[in-house]
Amino acid sequence: MPAKVVSFINLKGGVGKTTLALAIGEWLAFGGGGQKVLLVDVDPQYNMSSALLPVAKVTELGNQGKSVYHMFKSALVGTNWDIGQAIVKDCSNIYGNINLHTIVSGPDLGRLDEDILECRLTGAPKPAIELHTVLGSHIQRIKEQYSWIIIDCPPSLSIVTSNAILCNDYWIAPLIPEALSVFGVEMITTKIASLEEVTKARLPIKFGGSILNRIDISRKDHQKRAFQIYNKPARYQPFDSWIGDWKPLYIVSDYDYPGEALSYPEWPSVREKYGGEHSWAENKADTPEKALLQSKLGLGGSYRIANVVLNLAMEFKRTCI
């Protein structure tokens, strides 16, 4: 069965798209069933790439033409680009990786819009392939090799984001329970509708739901906004599992962190990587909003972050299968 293609998208930056896409991708690849997963970074900030590989390696791949920028640039100027050559199999800082692969991004992707404009101004021949379908045409060639292809998108309505929308089976919206974050989801919904109007066809992409992220359960505004989202399931389709503003989860997104923290270069397992412990000790369920949030996780008064991420990955599988 070909891979399910799922993008993590929100037009508000800093909502944790990369952290969630990485955590779910690593649990699918390393936990339990060990499914084949390809993580594709299409964000010019390349946070996903630098979480999976040393920055020097990301730079080297870019210099070799093995990044998503070169995929788009080759389509623009009419040269060949082999997605198979760009897939990095020796990635991740978890020991024994055979199931998790990646395709990197880099800062040069930020030049793509300028490249497109330059081609138009200079009267360059029109690309042989429609630029909105470049990513999908390449992914189609490798879908049979994976169970999941997860795309980390930029926080912008760029041609790169349109590419992701047009080739996806599902999209997931990471949400901080704040107004601008929620509005970013509304804008993506509008963008999908506009693409359907342009293509004159209903797109196959489905909304897989939202994941509440970086919740500070001690903040009343976060409590109230999360409560509102959970009470509008038809609109936001929130996952039961949510992620708090937990530093242990974010620092492991740094590729070099295990060497700094543990004196050896790789995490021994995915559970060890996401193994930080968290407690409700100072946040008892003294309001309906807190009670709802704590009941959603269902893990008691003290738990390991690994269990939350595992539950999130399992919910992702059930939703996007």
pTM of the model: 0.95
* Res 281: pLDDT: 61
CATH number of 4-275+306-320: 3.40.50.300
As a whole number of angstroms, the distance between CA 258 and CA 262 comes to 5
Task: Calculate ∠ Cα 207-188-225, nearest 5°.
Answer: 80
* Exposure string for 54-91, b = 16+ CB within 10 A, e = fewer: eeebbbebbeebbbbbbbbbbbbeeeebebeebbbeeb
Question: What are the boundaries of each domain within the chain?
Answer: 4-275+306-320
* Res 86: pLDDT: 98
CA 45: distance to chain centroid?
Answer: 13
* Res 31: pLDDT: 86
Who's near 311: CB < 8 A, 6+ residues apart? 240, 241, 297
List the chain residues with pLDDT less than 70.
127-129, 281-283, 299-301
Closest CA to 6 of 315, 310, 231: 315
Q: Phi/psi of residue 246, each to 5°?
A: -100, 110
As a whole number of angstroms, the distance between CA 185 and CA 146 comes to 28
